[in-house]
Amino acid sequence: MNDNGCIHLSNFKAAKGTNPYKIVHAFFVSCTSFEARRYKATSCLCFACGQPGPRMHSCLHCIYFACYAGHIQEHSKSKKHFLYVDLSYGNVYCTQCQDYIYDRELTEIAMSHRLKEAKSLGISAPFMPWLPNTNEALALRRLRKRRLISPHTTIGLRGLQNLGSTCFMNCIVQTLIHTPLLRDYFLGEKHKCKAQGTGKCLVCEVSKLFQEFYSGAKTPLTLHRLLHLIWTHARHLAGYEQQDAHEFFIATLDVLHRHCMNGVEDTEKKENGRCNCIIDQIFTGGLQSDVVCTSCSGVSTTIDPFWDISLDVAGPGSLQACLERFTRAEHLGSAAKIKCSKCRAYRESTKQLTLETLPIVASFHLKRFEHSSQIDRKISAFVSFPAELDMTPFMSSHRRAVDVGVDNNNAPEGIFEDNRYSLFAVVNHLGSLDAGHYTAYVRQMKGSWFKCDDHMITRASLREVLDSEGYLLFYHKTVLEYECDVS
Amino acid sequence: MSTIVSELSMNDLNNKFFEIMQSESNAEEAANFIYDSVFDDVTVGFLFEFHHGLKTGLSDLLEGEKEDDDVYKIVNTPECDVFGFSIMKKTPDSNCSCPNCERPVSATRFAPHLEKCMGMGRNSSRIASRRIASNSREPTSYAGLLSDDEDDADWAGGSLQSERRKRRIKNNNNRKPNKLHNGNNRNNNGNQSTDADGGATYETMTANEKKNLLLQICGVVSEHTKKLCTRSTRCPQHTEEQRRLLRNTVLEPSTPESASMTGADEAGSPPDSSPSSSCSSSSRKRDRHRPPPKMKNKRERVSPNDRD
C-alpha cells in the first residue's frame, strides 16, 4: 500500500520534522489534555471571517486557522504555504498535489493522540481500522485470494470424531471455536508462544484447531492430542467414563488460562493486579457478595472472579427468572450467624449476590443434575432462554439504584452502559443420567445456526435452538467497547 | 504554545453562552448548528476513510480476489449433513497416534485407550502398581509406562500390531484374573518384578521416590489390604484429609517438599489463581474466596458423574 505522503510533504518533514503536525494535532484535532481542549474551544475560529466553519483547517507552516470555504486556500496561495491540516480528522491537504495525502508516520502520530484523547476524557478508546504493516501488506499483495465466511458455505464448520464417549469435549470445543472474540484472537494469530512446537501448549493446539475449522476441509477432526493435553494438565478429569461438559469447560478454560502465560514476559502478565490473558479478558466477570448485618445494617462486600454462573432450575421457568432469584437478597437465618465486624458479635444477616463486572462471554450452567446421598436425578424442567438478553437488572450498580429508590430513568450509574448479550451457543444433554449424549447448537454468524452432533453438522433454526432443553448457555456481549491501554 | 492568544477568555465564553441561550430561538438554532456539525463531521469521516482506502491502495489489498467457494457450498438435503455426508452412514473410523505411547490407536476407541494408557480409570490401579514396581520414573511423564497390551483391544493396523493381535487372540481364550505375567511376551520389560501388585510399600522407597510417586497417585494405605491406593491424586475413594495425613506421615522428614506437593500439577504453575470454579456458592468454592463464608446450600453445585 502507498501511504508515504507526497514529495512536498517529505521535503517539509526533512526541513521541519513532524513537530508542527504533532502540535497542531495534539491541540486542535485530538485534544490530549484539558489545556488543549481549552485552546481548541477558544481559538478554533477562521482568522479571516471569524466563523467556526465550515471545515476548519490549520496551516502547517505557520499559525493560521481558516475555514474551507475559501479562506484557507487564500492563505495558502498568498503565503505559498502548501500544506494544511483538517482539524476534524487530522488529514493533510497538499495544494501542489491538489488532494489529501496520507503519510504513515503522521497517521501513527494521529492514532496515538486519539488514544491519549480518549484516556484524557476517561472514555473508551475509539475504533481504529486495522492498518497492515510493511510485511503484512506484502503478504496481502502476494496472496490475493480471500476466503469469505458466508452463511452458504461450510467454512468455519467441522465435524468432530467421537473418541469413545467424548461428546462432552466435542460440544465444548464447538462452543469455543464459535466464540466470536476468541475466533478473532486466534485467526489474528495473536498467541505468541515460547513453547511453540513442543506440543505441550493447549493454546497452540486450539490455535491449530481454528486453522483446521477454516481450512475448508470436510472430514471430521480427531481431537486426540487435545484430549491428552487437557487430561495431562487437569488430571482430576482423566479417566471418568463419561464426563460432565460443564466440568470439562471450566477445566479447559483453566488450562488455557495457565498456558496463555507461556509466551508472556513476567512484567506484562498483570495489569492492575488482574490477569489480562485472552481467557480472562473474555470469560472473567466479577461477582459481588453483600452481607448485611440485621442488627446494625453494616455491609460487608466482597468481589470474586467468576467464569460462569450456575443456576438452580427447579421452580423458575426462564433464564431471567433464574437470574432474578440468583441475585435476590436472602435471609441467612439463625442457624447461620456471621460475625459482624461492626457489632463484634455473631448476627443474623442477609446475603445478596450481584454482578459487579460482566464478562464479554456470559456462560450459564443450568443445574440439571442433582446428586445427593439419597438420590441422583436429572431435572428436565423447561427453562426458556432468550436470543437477546439484557443483563442490566442483575448488575450491582442497578440493584443499588433500585434499593435506594432512585427512579430508573435517572439511574446515576451505568446508564450509558450497554449490557445487551446475544446467544451464540447452547450445549444440550440428551437422555438420562447414566446413558446420555451431548450435542451443541452454535451460531456461525448472525441468524445462521448449526447443530453439532459429534461428526454430524446440520443446519438448525433459531426456533429449534430456543426450544431445546438447554444445559449450558453461552451469550456474547452485543456491543464491544475498546479498552484504552495507553500509559 | 505561549504564542497562541485566544480571542476570548473562558469566562467571556461562558457569559456569552448563557446570554445567548436565554432566547429560545437561539437555543434551537444552536441545537440545529450542533446537529449539522456532528452530521458533517461523521459524513466527512466516512469520505476520508473511503478516500484513504482508494488512494493508498488499502481497499484493494484487503479486498483481494474472492475465492471460488462453490466447493464449500452447504449441502441442503434432508438425508445429508452440511458437508454432504449421509446422516445414516457411520463416519469411517481412522487411526490416530497416541500422544502418550506413540502407538496407532483406533480413533473411536481413543478415549478409553488413553484412560488406561495414562494410568487412570478402571484398570489404572493395576497398571500403576506395575509402575511402582518398575521403580520411580519421571514425576510427570507417563511415557515410560509399562505396556499393557494383552488387555488393550485398541491397537489396530501396522505390522507390529498384527503380531500383537495374534497374540491377543491366542491369549483371549485363557483370560484369567491373574493373567498378568507371561514372561515370554513381555520382551521389553523383562526386568519387571513378578509380585508387583502387593510389593510396594513406603518403607522400601527413598524420599525422592516417595515424593515422585505421591505426585502421581493417591497413595492412601488401605486398612484391609495394607496396599497403597494407586488411583489418581483426586481419587474419590479417599478424602483430601486422608491424603494430607498420609503425606504428612510419609514425607515427614522433608517438610518443605510436602508443603509444595498438594497443589503441584506441573512445572510452571500459574502465576495467578484463576476463577476455575463456578460462581455459584458451591461446596467446592475455593479457599481463596474470602469471607463471608459460603452457606447457600441451595446453590450446591452438582453435575453428572460428579463423584467427589
What distance in Å separates the CA atoms of residue B116 and residue B123, rounded to the nearest whole number?
6
SS3 state of residue B146: coil
pLDDT at B131: 53
**Residues 6+ positions from B158 with CB-CB distance below 8 Å:** B103, B104
pLDDT at B148: 40
Q: Do A171 and A50 belong to one domain?
A: no
Quick check: B100 and A228 CB within 8 A? yes
Asked if residue A146 is part of any domain, the answer here is no
Question: Among residues of chain A, what percentage have pLDDT more than 70?
Answer: 92
Across the interface, of A132, A244, A365, the residue whose CB is closest to B306 is: A244
Asked if residue A230 is part of any domain, the answer here is yes
Q: Which is more confident, A330 or A53?
A: A330
Across the interface, of B10, B48, B111, the residue whose CB is closest to A227 is: B111
Domain boundary among A267, A302, A326: A267
What distance in Å separates the CA atoms of residue A143 and residue A145, rounded to the nearest whole number?
6
Q: Which of A6, A167, A201, A260 is catalytic?
A: A167
Average pLDDT over chain A, rounded to an integer: 87
pLDDT at B129: 54
Q: Each residue's pLDDT tens digit in chain B (308 positions)?
A: 444 445 667 788 788 888 889 999 999 998 998 999 899 999 999 999 999 999 999 999 999 898 888 889 998 888 888 988 887 777 677 888 888 888 899 888 898 888 888 876 544 555 555 555 554 444 433 333 333 443 444 443 334 444 444 444 444 443 333 323 333 333 333 333 333 344 467 777 777 777 777 877 788 877 666 677 777 777 767 777 788 888 888 776 544 444 444 433 433 434 444 554 445 433 333 333 333 333 333 333 334 443 33
**Residues 6+ positions from B287 with CB-CB distance below 8 Å:** none
Domain boundary among A120, A138, A156: A138
Asked if residue A378 is part of any domain, the answer here is no
**Average pLDDT of the residues in A360-370:** 93
Cell of B125: 490401579
Look up the domain containing A255 and give its range. 167-267
**Interchain CB contact of B69 with A (< 8 Å):** yes
Q: Do A171 and A130 belong to one domain?
A: no
pLDDT at B6: 53
The DSSP call for residue A353 is: E
pLDDT at B305: 42
**Interchain CB contact of A42 with B (< 8 Å):** yes
Report A:155-194 residues touching B (Cβ under 8 A): 155, 157, 159, 161-166
Q: Do A11 and A121 belong to one domain?
A: yes
**Residues 6+ positions from A136 with CB-CB distance below 8 Å:** none
Question: Would the pLDDT of A418 be above 60?
Answer: yes
Q: Do A13 and A134 belong to one domain?
A: yes
Phi/psi zone of residue A185: left (φ > 0), alpha (ψ -120 to 50 degrees), beta? alpha
Asked if residue A246 is part of any domain, the answer here is yes
Residue A19 belongs to domain with CATH number = 3.30.40.10
pLDDT at B258: 40
Cell of B301: 453445585
pLDDT tens across A457-487, in order? 999 999 999 999 999 999 999 988 776 554 3
Asked if residue A472 is part of any domain, the answer here is no
Domain boundary among A248, A267, A286: A267
**Average pLDDT of the residues in A114-142:** 88
Of A69-73, A75-79, A158-162, B201-205, the one with minimum mean pLDDT is B201-205
pLDDT at B241: 78
For residues A364 and A308, the answer to whether their CB atoms sit within 8 Å is: yes
Quick check: A305 and B275 CB within 8 A? yes
pLDDT at B288: 31
**Interchain CB contact of A103 with B (< 8 Å):** no
Look at chain A and report how many structural domains it folds into.
2
Q: Do A12 and A116 belong to one domain?
A: yes
B282: nearest CA partner in chain A = A310
Q: Do A21 and A116 belong to one domain?
A: yes
The DSSP call for residue B73 is: B
**Residues 6+ positions from B259 with CB-CB distance below 8 Å:** none
- Cβ neighbour number for residue B277 with a 10 Å cutoff: 20
pLDDT at B206: 75
pLDDT tens across A321-359, in order? 999 999 998 888 777 788 887 788 888 888 999 999 999
Measured between beta carbons, the chain A residues lying within 8 angstroms of B122 are 241
Q: Do A178 and A96 belong to one domain?
A: no
Q: Do A96 and A173 belong to one domain?
A: no
Q: Do A128 and A180 belong to one domain?
A: no
Of A77-91, A201-215, A373-387, B119-133, the one with minimum mean pLDDT is B119-133
Question: Among residues of chain A, what percentage have pLDDT more than 90?
Answer: 56
Report B:249-268 residues touching A (Cβ under 8 A): 265-266, 268
Asked if residue A46 is part of any domain, the answer here is yes
Asked if residue A450 is part of any domain, the answer here is no
Residue A343 annotated to the active site? no
Of A10-19, A306-315, A355-364, B143-152, the one with minimum mean pLDDT is B143-152
Q: Which of A418, A484, A397 is nearest to A121 (CA)?
A: A484
Under the banding of pLDDT at 50, 70 and 90, the label for residue A272 is low
pLDDT tens across B113-169, in order? 888 888 765 445 555 555 555 544 444 333 333 334 434 444 433 344 444 444 444
Helices (H), B174-263: 196-199, 207-216, 240-250, 255-261
What distance in Å separates the CA atoms of residue A97 and residue A409, rounded to the nearest whole number?
53
Residue of B279, B295, B300 best to disrupt the A interface, most CBs of A under 10 A: B279
Question: Would the pLDDT of A192 be above 70?
Answer: yes
- Cβ neighbour number for residue A25 with a 10 Å cutoff: 26
Asked if residue A260 is part of any domain, the answer here is yes
Residue of A153, A227, A269, A353 best to disrupt the B interface, most CBs of B under 10 A: A153
Under the banding of pLDDT at 50, 70 and 90, the label for residue A68 is very high
Q: Do A93 and A20 belong to one domain?
A: yes
Of A219-223, A309-313, B301-305, the one with minimum mean pLDDT is B301-305
What distance in Å separates the CA atoms of residue B94 and residue B103, rounded to the nearest whole number?
13
SS3 state of residue A104: helix
Q: Do A132 and A187 belong to one domain?
A: no
What distance in Å separates the CA atoms of residue B240 and residue B2, rounded to the nearest whole number?
71
Q: Which of A61, A81, A437, A455 is catalytic?
A: A437
Q: Do A36 and A123 belong to one domain?
A: yes
Calculate how close chain A gets to B25, using CA atoms only, in Å. 20
